[in-house]
Amino acid sequence: MYATNKGINAYKKDSLKADLAGASPHRVIQLLMQGALERLALSKGFIERRDMEAKSNTLTRVIEIINALRDALDRDANPELVDNLDALYSFMIEQVHEAGLKMDVSKIDVVMGLMLEIKGAWDQIAGVAQQDASSVNA
């Protein structure tokens, strides 16, 4: 079974590298958000099974991803929106820390809900951009 998981993980890693190689900055943000959501879901399972090492590793990666999202904020764009997103990302990091310390999956649920809202809005931006591009090409 380990060899199969190892093969699947290698495929996922190669697939992600291929996605990132040709990805627009917008797509990179989508992939980061998706990665955070996947790791948050995994961390819930690790907390429920009391797998401390896996929980710690996964939550650490979530925090790294959220920090990457914070670093990607365009400070020259809409300052009010950027400040709000920055504060929201900071809150999410605090919730992830608390979830790990208190073994509290409800904190993970809060972060997942917020990330899903942000990702949903981000995905809509991509849809609008594609519609605009197709109407220009028509």
pTM over 0.75: yes
What is the token pair recorded at 132? 């605009």
Interatomic CA distance for residues 94 and 89, integer angstroms: 9
Contact 74, 41 (CB under 8 A): no
State the pLDDT at residue 10: 52
Q: Which residues of the chain have pLDDT under 50?
A: 1-4, 8, 11, 16, 133-138
State the pLDDT at residue 77: 84
Interatomic CA distance for residues 58 and 47, integer angstroms: 10
Per-residue pLDDT tens for 75-96? 888 899 999 999 999 999 999 9
State the pLDDT at residue 24: 87
State the pLDDT at residue 19: 59
Interatomic CA distance for residues 2 and 16, integer angstroms: 21
Q: Please give the CATH superfamily to which domain 29-122 belongs.
A: Flagellar protein FliS (1.20.120.340)
Q: What are phi and psi of 5, to 5 degrees?
A: -60, -40
